[in-house]
Amino acid sequence: MMEGVGKLLGISIGDKVLITTDNWFVAPDGSECRAVFGTVHGVFDSETTLGIKTNDRSTNWYVKIGRMIVAGCQIHYVIKSDDAHNGDARAWSSSAEYGIKTFDRPCITYFAD
């Protein structure tokens, strides 16, 4: 798996990447995150990762990034990058009543290294 996608993206074991996930997860500090940044340690199957072979209705591959393992079915985007922003970021919301509003929001990236 890593050979195909990794080669296409120019990603190798030891590279740093930002992975956005399809769902929120809770980081060790209790914050809710939607992305993880860290060093890629490998792509593994379910038997290596979980100790069991999963069925066809479950994901069967996982990415180890820093101190975290992300299920393949949760990966939305992968971006190769040497660093990631860990401060506030611009966000927006919209409504028919108030139009578009921009605001600063806290970082939603978990730094896994």
Instruction: Give per-residue pLDDT as tens, 58-111.
Output: 778 899 999 999 999 999 999 999 999 999 999 999 999 999 999 999 999 999
Q: Note the pTM of the prediction, 2 decimals.
A: 0.84
Helices (H), 39-103: 46-50
Q: What is the pLDDT of residue 70?
A: 95
pLDDT band at 13 (very low <50, low <70, confident <90, very high): very high
Residues 6+ apart with CB under 8 A from 104: 88, 89, 90, 91
Domain ranges, residue 38: 2-111
Q: What is the pLDDT of residue 1?
A: 46
Burial of 22 from C-beta contacts in 10 A (0-12 / 13-18 / 19+): exposed
Between 7 and 20, the higher pLDDT residue = 20
Q: Beta-carbon neighbour count of residue 36 at 10 Å?
A: 27
The residues facing 65 across adjacent strands are 40, 68
* Residue 34 near residue 20, CB atoms below 8 Å: yes
- Tens-place pLDDT, residues 16-70: 999 999 999 999 999 999 999 999 999 888 888 888 888 777 778 899 999 999 9
What's the domain count of the chain? 1
